[in-house]
Structures are given as structure tokens and as C-alpha cells.
């Protein structure tokens, strides 16, 4: 496995220089910011990521005001108490994308957030308190406790709310294979542990957030 410095230099060469590479790097928000946001913000972002999955993202953006109206601003308590009849009604609501299974996920994820709120005070506090050096553990938690939040959907959710995590894009996976970290897209516990270990090492070497390490890796491809 190469050092982070050598990976960075390769990425900079491919992007036309250090300044050009730095200009495309994402950032993460502070724990204070994560804690300050309302739980409705997190439910809305979960919902947006779930509905974007396998769909044209721009359609979801165009319909988003309708989603906010249909789900009453994503009030967590209200969405967690949606009845089966409410879900049936929403499945015919032309303001939103009428995918019944994804509509049901709003209630399930509201219940997930409500449970976390009971445990830790708020969903933001839960995110802020989770160690970034265990981002694969967070991925697993979202998959197991949330609904339709496994794989890239959960990772995109974390990235969009500013929680520091890699996103395993096709290029990142190819880079990790090239580095000998994994042999294919990671799904097993062993492979995910290898990904975590590699990122932890590059994070320690560089002092950069995990989201930047993954973007730099992708730029080597």
C-alpha cells in the first residue's frame, strides 16, 4: 500500500496541479454543527437520498417542495406516527414520487430517528458522538437500524449532512483494489475492516478528513 504523499502527488499530476486538486476536495462540518441541526433536517436528507437512489436526481430536486408539503416538513414525531392509511394516501399523491416502498421508508426512518433521540437527545448528537475512525460501523448502523440506508445511500446521506466519511465510488473502489487493500467492491466484514484500516492509516499520515482522502484516491484513477 502506497504512502499518502505518493497517492496525493499522483492525484495532483492527474488533475493538473496541487491547487487544482485542492479546489475539488470536499469538507466535513463540525460536531457543533451536527448537534445544532433539527432532527427534521436529518429525516429530510435521509428521504432525499432514498428517493434519489436508482432515480433521476433532478426530478427529486424539482419535486422537493412537494415532498416537504406532503410530509409536513419532515416533523419526526408526525412522520413516525403515519398510519397505513396515510401511507396509502401518499402513494397516490402527485406532489411526490409515488414509490410505495420508499414512501414507507419515511415512517421507518422517522421511527429510527425518534429511537435515537430517546437514547441520545438528538440525531445530531448521535452523529457527533460516533468516532470517525469507525465510519464502517456507522455504515452498518444505518443499514441495520434505518430503512433503505445501506450501501451508497447511507454513505451519501452522511456526506450530504457533512459527517466525515469516504464514499466508495467506482473510482475509489478501483483505487483501493490497485493499492491491494481489497479485491473487489467490499461487502464482507473482513473487506470493510481492510478499508477502514487503510483509510485510518492515510488519515493519520495526512491529517486530512476521510472525505478528502477518498476524493484524492478517486483522482488517481
Q: Output the pLDDT for position 99.
A: 97
Question: Is 1 in contact with 201 (CB distance < 8 Å)?
Answer: yes
Q: What is the pLDDT of residues 124-133, one digit of tens each?
A: 999 999 999 9
Q: pLDDT tens-digit profile of 101-160?
A: 999 999 999 999 999 999 999 999 999 999 999 999 999 999 999 999 999 999 999 999
Per-residue pLDDT of the chain (221 residues; tens, 9 = 90+): 999 999 999 999 999 999 999 999 999 999 999 999 999 999 999 999 999 999 999 999 999 999 999 999 999 999 999 999 999 999 999 999 999 999 999 999 999 999 999 999 999 999 999 999 999 999 999 999 999 999 999 999 999 999 999 999 999 999 999 999 999 999 999 999 999 999 999 999 999 999 999 999 999 99
User: What pLDDT score was predicted for residue 16?
Assistant: 97
Q: What is the pLDDT of residue 3?
A: 97
Closest CA to 187 of 145, 131, 219, 139: 139
The pLDDT score that the predictor gives to residue 6 is 97
- Residue 51: the pLDDT is 98
pLDDT value at position 124? 98
pLDDT score at 133: 97
Burial of 150 (0-12, 13-18, 19+ CB in 10 A): middle
Whole-Å CA distances, 178 to 73, 195, 220: 44, 13, 10
pLDDT computed for residue 53 by the predictor? 95
- 3-state SS, residue 48: helix
Cα 177 to Cα 41: distance, rounded to the nearest angstrom: 36
Domains recognised in the chain with CATH numbers:
4-28+166-218 (no CATH), 31-161 (1.10.340.30)
Cβ neighbours of 17 (radius 10 Å): 10
Amino acid at each position: 500500500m502506497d504512502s499518502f504523499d505518493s497517492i496525493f502527488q499522483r492525484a495532483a499530476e492527474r488533475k493538473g496541479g496541487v491547487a487544482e486538486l485542492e479546489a475539488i476536495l470536499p469538507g466535513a462540518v463540525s460536531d457543533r454543527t451536527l448537534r445544532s441541526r433539527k432532527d427534521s433536517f436529518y429525516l429530510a436528507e435521509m428521504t432525499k437520498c432514498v428517493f434519489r437512489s436508482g432515480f433521476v436526481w433532478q426530478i427529486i430536486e424539482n419535486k422537493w417542495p412537494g415532498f416537504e408539503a406532503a410530509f409536513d416538513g419532515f416533523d419526526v414525531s408526525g412522520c413516525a406516527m403515519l398510519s397505513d392509511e396515510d401511507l396509502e394516501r401518499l402513494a397516490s399523491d402527485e406532489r411526490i414520487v409515488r414509490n410505495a416502498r420508499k414512501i414507507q421508508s419515511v415512517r421507518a426512518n422517522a421511527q429510527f430517528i425518534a429511537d435515537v433521540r430517546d437514547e441520545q437527545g438528538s440525531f445530531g448528537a448521535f452523529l457527533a458522538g460516533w468516532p470517525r475512525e469507525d465510519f464502517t460501523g456507522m455504515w452498518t448502523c444505518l443499514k441495520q437500524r434505518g430503512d433503505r440506508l445501506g450501501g451508497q445511500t447511507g454513505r451519501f446521506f452522511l456526506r450530504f449532512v457533512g459527517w466525515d466519511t469516504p464514499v466508495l465510488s467506482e473510482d475509489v473502489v478501483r483505487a483501493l483494489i490497485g493499492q491491494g487493500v481489497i479485491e473487489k467492491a467490499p461487502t464482507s466484514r473482513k473487506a470493510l475492516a481492510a478499508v477502514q484500516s487503510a483509510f485510518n492509516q492515510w488519515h493519520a499520515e495526512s491529517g486530512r478528513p476521510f472525505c478528502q482522502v477518498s476524493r484524492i484516491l478517486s483522482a488517481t484513477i
